[in-house]
Amino acid sequence: MDAEASPRILLMKKKILYLFSDTGGGHRSSASAIMKAVEELKKKDAPVQEMVDVFTECSAFLGMLSRLYGPVIKYSPKMWGVLYYWLNDIKKTQQMEKLARPFIQKELGKLLLDRKPDLIVSVHPLLNHLTIATMKETGYKVPLITVVTDPVSLHRTWVSDEADLIIVATDEARKKVIEYGGNKEKVRVLGLPIDPRFARPSPSKSVKKRELCLEPGKFTVLLMGGGEGGGNMLKIVRSIDKAKLDLQLIVIAGRNENLKKQLEKMAGGLSYGIKVYGFTNEVPEIMGASDMIITKAGPGSIAEALAKELPIIITSWLPGQEEGNVNFVVDKKLGVICRDVRNIGRVIKEMQRPKNFGKFKANIKKVNNPRAVFEIARTILEKIPSR
């Protein structure tokens, strides 16, 4: 292929635009996972793909508001829960969209006309209605696919009957979409998009443990608290220490450098071995070496844990949007809740019993779908219109 032909071929490629916002819920990672799956499926023939943080790029005011999400859920999660339920009303969501339009529609329209995507994928609940309204305003109309990143409990802002397709993770989510006015013919239950690496076969647990310099025959518990390393992680480590269990612990402290340093200082004085990570991209490998996970009820963490067949202990969740995740884990008997972390040792010991542990693993296999991201990617590719 000569150098002059390459730009022309690039121009002929279709383009997918992914719209997201960094307001929790793993929206960025979901979009990134789908993009990776599309690349793996199509390789050199993959369409051009681009992600845009819409509030940051198209509205300084809404971008500032979106950055308040993190502090609100950290310092006042109950207030967030109240707000979540209060806004889960069709009249309020319509009014919210009308109030937001003047702050974003002009720039969003410019973005669409500049990037000229052949298809749009939204992975954020607040972008579906705004994007449809903007396409009507500009006259630039392409298919819009919504990929819902809340696996069970979803807010009605996710649902627009004018979307060309709404992809959800569970039958429970599908029922909610229909309840909120979505066309049942446009809803597909495909699973939750997580990094394709979670779908790849892992070596045996003992091999993975050796690779991570862990004892290969020792029961291994993974403790995660999200990207910011929250969720009483120090208390959990100390509580496990008091229980004097025969295990080793992996802790992912995320971006919480202070927590990482504290854990590293504690390591020598604990009754069990511990390996501490900061923010890491090696979560699939770490989960591959683990036997059980302690985590908050984030949708991504739960889906990733199920992909690696790890029984789950949930210690915290966000009111509103994560409550359904907790119910899903408990109802399907994929794990248990432990709100009082002083009891975490007893809970681990009970789950470790061979009879109980075997049941959790069997139940996980019934619902597990680590290759969902490839099914989502195929569906998106099928929806790209021909020229």
Which CATH number covers residue 54? 3.40.50.2000
Q: State pLDDT tens for residues 218-231.
A: 999 999 986 565 66
Same domain, yes or no: 148 and 159: yes
Same domain, yes or no: 114 and 62: yes
Which residue in the block uniquely carries the two structure tokens 């802002």?
157
- From first to last of the 387 residues of the chain, give the pLDDT tens digit: 444 445 555 557 899 999 998 766 588 999 999 999 999 999 889 999 999 999 888 887 777 777 777 777 777 788 888 888 888 888 888 888 888 888 898 999 999 999 999 999 999 998 999 999 999 999 999 999 999 999 998 999 999 999 999 999 999 999 999 999 999 999 999 999 999 999 988 889 999 999 999 999 999 999 998 656 566 899 999 999 999 999 999 999 988 899 999 999 988 889 999 999 998 999 999 999 999 999 999 999 999 999 999 999 999 998 888 999 999 999 999 999 999 999 999 999 999 999 999 999 999 999 999 999 999 999 999 999 986
- According to the model, what pLDDT value does residue 2 have? 47
Same domain, yes or no: 69 and 110: yes
Same domain, yes or no: 71 and 207: no
Same domain, yes or no: 155 and 240: no
Same domain, yes or no: 187 and 253: no
Same domain, yes or no: 242 and 334: yes
Same domain, yes or no: 234 and 316: yes
Domain that holds residue 277: 197-367
- According to the model, what pLDDT value does residue 225 have? 81
pTM: 0.90
* Number of domains forming the structure of the chain: 2
Same domain, yes or no: 55 and 180: yes
Q: State pLDDT tens for residues 41-77.
A: 998 899 999 999 998 888 877 777 777 777 777 777 8
Same domain, yes or no: 249 and 278: yes
- According to the model, what pLDDT value does residue 65 have? 73
Same domain, yes or no: 151 and 240: no
Same domain, yes or no: 109 and 231: no
